[in-house]
Amino acid sequence: MVEHIVNFEARRDRQDRVRVYKLDPDDGGGSFEVAGVNDRYHPKMARELRALVNAGKYMEAEAQAIIYIAGKTDFPASIASDNAIRFLLRDIAWNRGPTGAVRTLQLALNVPVDGKIGPVTRKALNDAEANPEDLILGIRTARDTYERQWAGRKPGNRYWKGLVNRWNKASAIAQEYL
């Protein structure tokens, strides 16, 4: 699952190896990233990955990024029993943190949005996982709502098209897990 997230995030060279990518100052993720691991939110790991890439250890850098991202997204993924939903929660958590993943899920489930996994959210998720196709669509819609309400991004923002593309790709990959 996490390999898909790395593939969404990673900038690659002509040999398809991960590379260090200089971020636009408006991005909000710091000055650089490797496979989606940026130096603002993950400074130590970003520096380690950059050192591996600079040493020509591209495969090792990518493998380390996968392990790191998996560890950072294990909790949100663990609340679901369906692999398609686990994948989407990992993807959301990597971009918006665990609380953002839970809020997005709560929006999709039409339960009170508090960013916490309580009995109401657990029951609604359990019920919704009986029809994961509908839940995938609900999560896709909820990602849009979350960006507008909590992340402050709106259509027309220079990153909006990329976000929409990401959500659509993630939803398509989630379908493959059904």
Give all domains of the chain, ordered by start, each with its CATH number: 2-70 (no CATH), 79-176 (1.20.141.10)
The DSSP output letter for 29 is S
State residue 159's pLDDT score.
Answer: 87
DSSP bridge pairs for 21: 33
The token pair at 60 is 């090792």
Residue whose pair of structure tokens reads 């009995």 in the numeric block: 119
Using CB atoms within 10 Å of the CB of residue 133, give its burial: 0 to 12 exposed, 13 to 18 middle, 19+ buried: exposed
Q: How many CB atoms lie within 10 A of CB 118?
A: 12
Stated pTM of the model: 0.95
E strands, 17-175, in order: 20-22, 32-34, 37-38
In this predicted structure, the answer to whether residue 158 has a pLDDT above a threshold of 90 is no
CA distance 127 to 131: 8
Give residue-wise pLDDT tens across range 63-110.
999 999 999 999 999 999 999 999 999 999 999 999 999 999 999 999
